[in-house]
Amino acid sequence: MEGVCEASFPPGFLHFPPVSILICICFVSSLFFFFANYKYIWLCSSLCFFKSVINNNNNNYYYYYCVTYSAYRNMSPHNKRSMEQKKRNKDRIAAYHGQRVNSHGGHRNSHSHSGHRHRGGHTVRRNRIYDPGNPFDRQLFDYLIVVDVEATCEYKNDNYPHEIIELPGVLVDVRRGVVDKERSFRSYVRPQRNPLLTPFCKALTGITQEDVDSAPTLQEVVKLFEQWYTETIPRGAKVALATDGPWDLKNFVHEHSILRDHISFPTIFYEYLDIRTTFAHFFNRGTPLKLVPMLERLQLTFEGREHCGFDDAVNIARLAVSMMRAGCVFNYLVAIPLTDEFHYDMPNTALYRRKEGSGYLDPDVVDDIAKKCFGVDYFTFGERHMAEVMEHRRRYPQNFNQRNQLWKQTKMKNRGRRLYGVRFRMVAVAVLALLGLVLFLLLIYRKVMTLL
């Protein structure tokens, strides 16, 4: 029997138990990491914290309380209102399900907060949200102005002094979900440093030398944009610029035009919504894509000529509308510091940035800023705009019936990816379990052989 045992297995394998024990330990550790949840780790850390509180005569708790209260006191209004809103929502849901009795005897809140009212258990912001289930009403702004500038360039020359030669502004009516090309802004710009366009620039942008020769200067175009904005945007509306990435406003406008050429721009050009970054986080797990792949992901095709400023802006606007229709909310605002002396305030505009700069915006704080800036015009526009939007939705119901269909398709794709990850983990656990079973049988077999 000993000869059979030595012939069946490698010499010395069964006579070295630490190897088997080490493999079993790895197997148990792998199971722990597969099934462990971060909540249990958080619970353990919380228990350790409270244990240290008791052992140190509440000194740690006093320090923790002081630090937390100080951080809350110095917190941005967007964070404060967001935390308070989350707490109110939790209390409302708990009271609705009978888990907690609120101060009104367990009944649903019927009083109105400042700028809010309750309909059927949903918090509705006055003059802004007309249908809580509509993804367009969950947006923070009433209008978006999509900007995609074109600049002078030269083939394979990164140090070329770029100058803006086209400044478009495509208007997006958020509540209607419409790209309004007829009321949009567009103007060519005459460059000053290099008046003659390079052949590469003409071929890339499609802009001719005659277009820029007869165009106004950049400072004059900015004044034309300001005039168009005053005539087009109703007073009291919340408006923000939107771009495909940071290059248009951060590089071409702020660095090249403002800081280098000392061109004055209104403060509305100092904050914007980044469509590419928002798309990456909402649809592509944080990986940014170019414009055409983003359009294809949402079953859209590029319309017009690529690298034409106005056509690019129109397609970015179409992409933004499709993203909103799929349930994406544009609530991350990129802020450019107001440290130069060339910016100025434009009428009928407001700055919605956070106190510390770029970050996520709270809807209530955005409304409060608009109320403080526009006063009575904020409510007047809200009532008038609500009637116009509801009439538009009754006239074109087909544009709002299937508003979440694209989001459902994207959700199903993400669900398929998650299921693939679950299957992969299950296969890994099965392989480890099989390995452990084989080792266990080998140990039993060795024990039986020694007894015989």
Q: Which residues are catalytic?
A: 150, 307
* DSSP state, residue 240: E
Q: Are 323 and 297 in contact (CB under 8 A)?
A: no
Contacts with 245 (C-beta within 8 Å, 6 or more apart), sequence order: 274, 275, 276, 277, 288
Contacts with 80 (C-beta within 8 Å, 6 or more apart), sequence order: 72
Q: Are 271 and 352 in contact (CB under 8 A)?
A: yes
Helix (H, G, I), strand (E, B) or coil at 166: strand
First to last CA, the chain: 8
Q: Are 125 and 366 in contact (CB under 8 A)?
A: no
| Residue-wise DSSP of 72-133 | HHTS-HHHHHHHHHHHHHHHHHHHHTTSS--TTTTPPP-S--TTEEEETTEEEETTT-S-TT
| Residue-wise DSSP of 354-385 | BTTBSEEPPHHHHHHHHHHHHTHHHHHHHHHH
- The CA–CA distances, whole Å, from 436 to 18, 38, 126, 430 equal 14, 26, 63, 10
Contacts with 239 (C-beta within 8 Å, 6 or more apart), sequence order: 141, 142, 143, 144, 145, 233, 268, 349
* Pairing assessment for the beta strands 239-243 and 271-274 based on DSSP bridges: parallel
